[in-house]
Amino acid sequence: MKEVTIVGAGLAGSEAAYFLAEHGVKVVLVDMKPKLTPAHQSAKFCELVCSNSLKSDDVYGNACGLLKEEMRVLGSLTMAAAAESRVPAGGALAVDRERFSAYVDEHLRDHPDIEVVSEEVEALPESGIIATGPLTQGKLYKAIEEKFGVLHFFDASAPVVSAESIDMGRAFTQDRYGKGTGDYLNCPLTREEYEGFVRALTSAERAVLRDFEKSDVFEGCMPVEVMAARGMDTLRFGPFKPVGLDWEGTRPYAVLQLRKENAEGTSYNLVGCQTNLKFGEQKRVFSMIPALKEAEFERYGVMHRNTYLESPRCLNADFSVKGSPDLFFAGQITGVEGYVESAASGLLCGYHVLNRLRKKPSIVPAATTVIGALSRYIAAENKDFQPMNANYGILEGGYEGVRDKKERRKLLAERALCDIGRFKREYLG
């Protein structure tokens, strides 16, 4: 069987490479690492750049949780890595970033059917999978732009502080509404403290973006200072909301939540605090939060450009290029947004390439599944195409007569898992 070249060993490329290798296909996995982009810090594959959270793990109440379960059914490498590197995060699936990447890196490098090549690809190949992600750069970026045109949006990551530098006397452990096992550390603020923080946040000096980077910011990764500029109470109804939390018998005026960054609990991520402030300003402003007055910052937040194709014009629902059936794209560059969504597209892209090699028709999973609905979304005609997260709105209709939201989502999940199970038996068995 012909070998397949995959360019990029992020979430999507890693999933595609492992899927194909596990099905007997020889894979050449090409990645620029150990050379790094400005947003990367590790030489290992499948690095999580912005956050260590893979969002909700609620299969029956959250679309991203359902997508994860669909991926587990299909044999996802990243979901196996997440299970091995999980850190407590209430109802969310959060991971130790280093252990997560190490798990994937080891499984790819040690696989007998995967050859790893460390080099920067400069030309667009005629066949294979392009999974270079939203940080595609250099000559390959220019080649993609010349052939397809590209779009941009921008996202940001949140700072990380050391656990020992947090003032535990000004923080308390509790999960919102009592869900979870006390996985979040909460930093309460009084009204005066909160309003002073917001004023400092909105007036702080931001990192300068080059002219070509001055574009739209994706709502799901909105820098906290941009969000705060929308109004004094915006953060209190967003990432700093105190609802569902109790400190010394009362609800705080506002709360910043911290989530473990690693399994040992030696580092904490500032939840919802993605930022484009200059590093010195980050330390000054976030240190205004009482529990973080003496915080030691192990990693500052950064903002970076994400690149994605106008996929409805360029791609089919099986992620192949229109007019070039042997060339595929996978990951966030296709317009799926988020860690899990990116990995899911790589997993499914691997299946489609396998079918192409076997000269079998590629069947897109039913639109009743999240993974199938996302595939259809990136190929459906859309004059205002924007990156898309997993959500119930893209699923094929059903159960509209069920008024209880929890019950309706449960029924949608049961149907999706039934359909993805049937898909696996019929097309991957």
Q: Is 88 in contact with 180 (CB distance < 8 Å)?
A: yes
pLDDT at 213: 41
Which one is predicted more confidently, 153 or 376?
376
Q: Chain-wide mean pLDDT for the chain?
A: 90
In the DSSP assignment, the letter for residue 213 is G
Radius of gyration for the chain, computed over Cα atoms and rounded to the nearest angstrom: 22
Q: Which domains are seen in the chain, by residue range?
A: 4-150+309-427 (3.50.50.60), 160-303 (2.40.30)
Residue 145 reports pLDDT greater than 60: yes
CA dist list (Å): 366 to 68, 82, 373, 395: 16, 26, 7, 9
The residue among 232, 231, 233, 252 whose CA lies nearest residue 176 is: 252
Residue 218 reports pLDDT greater than 90: no
Residue range 12-20: average pLDDT? 98
Strands 172-173, 320-321: parallel, antiparallel or unpaired by DSSP?
unpaired
Give me the residue label for tokens 């996202």: 155
Residue range 293-314: average pLDDT? 88
pLDDT at 363: 94
Residue range 21-49: average pLDDT? 84
Q: Is 279 in contact with 301 (CB distance < 8 Å)?
A: no
Residue 212 reports pLDDT greater than 50: no
- Whether omega before 242 lies within 30 degrees of 0, making that bond cis, reads no
The token duo for 166 is 């947090």
Residue range 277-293: average pLDDT? 95
pLDDT at 210: 47
pLDDT category at 87 given cuts 50, 70, 90 is: very high
pLDDT at 357: 94
Q: What share of the chain is helix, strand, coil (3-state, %, to 5)?
A: 40, 20, 40
Q: What is the DSSP string of 86-116?
A: EE--TTEEEE-HHHHHHHHHHHHHT-TTEEE
What distance separates the 2 farthest-apart alpha carbons in the chain? 67
pLDDT at 150: 85
pLDDT at 211: 38
pLDDT category at 216 given cuts 50, 70, 90 is: low
Q: Is 277 in contact with 156 (CB distance < 8 Å)?
A: no
pLDDT category at 36 given cuts 50, 70, 90 is: low
The residue among 264, 237, 273 whose CA lies nearest residue 253 is: 237
Residue range 323-329: average pLDDT? 96
Q: How many residues does the chain have?
A: 429
| Distance separating alpha carbons of residues 236 and 371, to the nearest angstrom | 33
Burial of residue 86, with CB atoms counted within 10 A of its CB: 0-12 exposed, 13-18 middle, 19 or more buried: middle
The token duo for 61 is 């109440």
Q: pLDDT by residue (tens digit) across 59-81?
A: 999 999 999 999 999 999 999 99
What is the percentage of the chain residues whose pLDDT exceeds 90?
A: 69
Residue 428 reports pLDDT greater than 60: yes
Which one is predicted more confidently, 348 or 383?
348
CA 103 to chain centre: 17
| Distance separating alpha carbons of residues 408 and 395, to the nearest angstrom | 12
pLDDT at 110: 97
Residue range 89-94: average pLDDT? 90
* Number of Cα atoms under 13 Å in the Cβ half of residue 259: 27
Residue 220 reports pLDDT greater than 70: no
Residue 41 reports pLDDT greater than 90: no
* Number of Cα atoms under 13 Å in the Cβ half of residue 86: 15
pLDDT category at 90 given cuts 50, 70, 90 is: confident
Q: How many H-runs (helices) and E-runs (strands) does the chain carry?
A: 12, 17
pLDDT at 178: 77
pLDDT at 224: 93
Q: pLDDT by residue (tens digit) across 178-211?
A: 777 788 999 999 999 999 999 999 999 998 654 3
Classified as helix, coil or strand, 170 is helix
pLDDT at 133: 84
Residue range 358-382: average pLDDT? 94
